């Protein structure tokens, strides 16, 4: 894997380089740049697989530089490094593979690099979705789907066995140390008192996989059972397939809108959303950002085409999936206003007020209140 690192802070560059070389064998740091004006030349010379790109630089906006890189070398994967999480959604506008918050944590970097490896593998092998393979469903809750059959909700022996499987699946293809699992599942007990419970939970997970005919999924023990690694075998994960398909569509236009909408409809809910697993929150947020950005793109396309009803339909889907997303109510207010539906505007404002003030104990944003009051007092409403 060939990478280029870009950060105007030399110490950050040195730290990231050391972290990468410590984390991945066979990685080649082709170049590092603290001067962003040199980056485009470096990309064209080295043709890296991945560019780690700082967003906040004084000479040039990292997001703008990312656009230039993708324009010159479309196959390069970009991973943004930022101190500000508000850039996350904008990062996905560029189809960035991931973003990492500063200071870079080794565990978080490890997850990103696994995603890079999977993406590069998909590029090399050109894997396409195969409906004849078993599927692990992770939207909302864990389900197993065998070829030609409906998805089945999994019956776990205990909640610990369920979380153990979910955690190993989340960290698939890598060793998860026994101490990590003990701390996760039985944080308040001494290791000597929980080893037997871990062994029992591993046994129950394997038996559950067998009972659901998903025993192509294996859990391997490390040396002296110091850790465990889950491997999928022929099985696939629906969230991974969805993201792979989603990233194939670069532009929404008249030719791609239907396919774009179909792929977005495959997002069935939050990643492991039925479980209160704190460790899954970053992946939930990452996939949610990706879906939300593309849904907004689709809604804007329909609005620009004069298809307000379709834009309303898409925005209502956002509202149903993310009822605390304030902007969807405001978008619907403006869309209903554009087709002179007074009751629609008023209903969306009422729903927003109820959601924000009663459910979340927060005021409606000032700019939305100002828009609504201006709309209410506008003379043209007299004729509606």
* Residue 70's pLDDT band (cuts 50, 70, 90): confident
Q: Which two tokens stand for residue 165?
A: 């499987």
For residue 33, the SS3 value is strand
Rounded Cα distance, 293 and 254, in Å:
19
Distance (Å) of CA 292 to CA 39, 62, 246, 317, 334: 30, 22, 12, 10, 19
- pLDDT score for 244: 84
Rounded Cα distance, 18 and 12, in Å:
10
* Residue 269's pLDDT band (cuts 50, 70, 90): very high
- pLDDT tens-digit readout, 173-204: 999 999 999 999 999 888 778 899 999 999 99
Q: Report the 10 Å Cβ neighbour count for 330.
A: 20
- pLDDT tens-digit readout, 75-90: 788 998 887 666 555 5
Q: pLDDT higher for 121 or 325?
A: 325
- What sign does the CA torsion over 25, 36, 82, 283 have? negative
Contact (CB, 8 A) for 97 and 113? no
Task: Give every CB contact of residue 255 below 8 A, 6+ residues apart in sequence.
Answer: none
Rounded Cα distance, 265 and 203, in Å:
36
Span 148-157, mean pLDDT? 93
Distance (Å) of CA 218 to CA 117, 167, 169, 361: 20, 14, 10, 47
Least-confidence region, from 118-132, 164-178, 252-266, 322-336: 118-132
* Residue 33's pLDDT band (cuts 50, 70, 90): very high
Span 237-261, mean pLDDT? 83
pLDDT exceeds cutoff 70 at 125: no
Least-confidence region, from 194-208, 217-231, 268-282: 217-231
Could you tell me the pTM of the whole model?
0.67
Rounded Cα distance, 263 and 129, in Å:
12
- pLDDT score for 354: 92
- Helix then strand then coil, in percent of the chain rounded to 5, is 55, 15, 30
For residue 72, the SS3 value is helix
């Amino acid at each position: 894997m060939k990478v280029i690192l870009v950060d105007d802070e030399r110490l950050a560059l040195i730290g990231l380089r050391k972290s990468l070389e410590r984390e991945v064998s066979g990685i080649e740091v082709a170049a590092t740049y603290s001067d962003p004006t040199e980056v485009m030349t470096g990309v064209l010379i080295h043709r890296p697989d991945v560019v780690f790109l700082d967003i906040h630089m004084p000479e040039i906006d990292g997001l703008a530089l990312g656009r230039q890189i993708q324009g010159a070398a479309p196959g390069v994967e970009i991973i943004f490094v930022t101190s500000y999480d508000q850039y996350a959604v904008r990062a996905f506008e560029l189809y960035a593979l991931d973003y990492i918050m500063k200071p870079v944590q080794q565990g978080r970097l490890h997850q990103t690099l696994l995603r890079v490896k999977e993406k590069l593998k998909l590029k090399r092998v050109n894997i396409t979705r195969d409906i004849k393979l078993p599927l692990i469903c992770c939207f909302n809750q864990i389900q197993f789907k065998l070829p030609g059959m409906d998805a089945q909700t999994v019956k776990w022996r205990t909640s610990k066995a369920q979380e153990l499987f979910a955690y190993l699946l989340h960290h698939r293809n890598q060793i998860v140390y026994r101490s990590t699992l003990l701390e996760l599942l039985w944080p308040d007990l001494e290791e000597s008192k929980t080893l037997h419970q871990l062994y029992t939970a591993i046994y129950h997970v394997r038996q559950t996989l067998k009972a659901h005919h998903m025993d192509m999924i294996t859990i391997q023990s490390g040396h002296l059972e110091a850790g465990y690694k889950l491997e999928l075998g022929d099985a696939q994960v629906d969230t991974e397939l969805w993201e792979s398909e989603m990233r194939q569509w670069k532009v929404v236009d008249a030719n791609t809108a239907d396919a774009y909408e179909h792929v977005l409809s495959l997002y069935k809910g939050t990643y492991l959303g039925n479980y209160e697993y704190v460790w899954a929150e970053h992946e939930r947020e990452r996939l949610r950002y990706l879906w939300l950005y593309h849904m907004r793109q689709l809604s804007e396309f329909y609005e620009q085409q004069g298809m307000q009803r379709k834009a309303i339909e898409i925005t209502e889907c956002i509202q149903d999936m993310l009822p605390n997303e304030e902007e969807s109510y405001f978008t619907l207010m403006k869309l209903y206003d554009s087709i002179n539906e007074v009751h629609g505007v008023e209903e969306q404002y009422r729903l927003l007020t109820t959601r924000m003030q009663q459910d979340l104990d927060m005021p409606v944003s000032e700019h939305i209140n100002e828009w609504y009051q201006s709309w209410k007092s506008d003379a043209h409403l007299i004729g509606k």
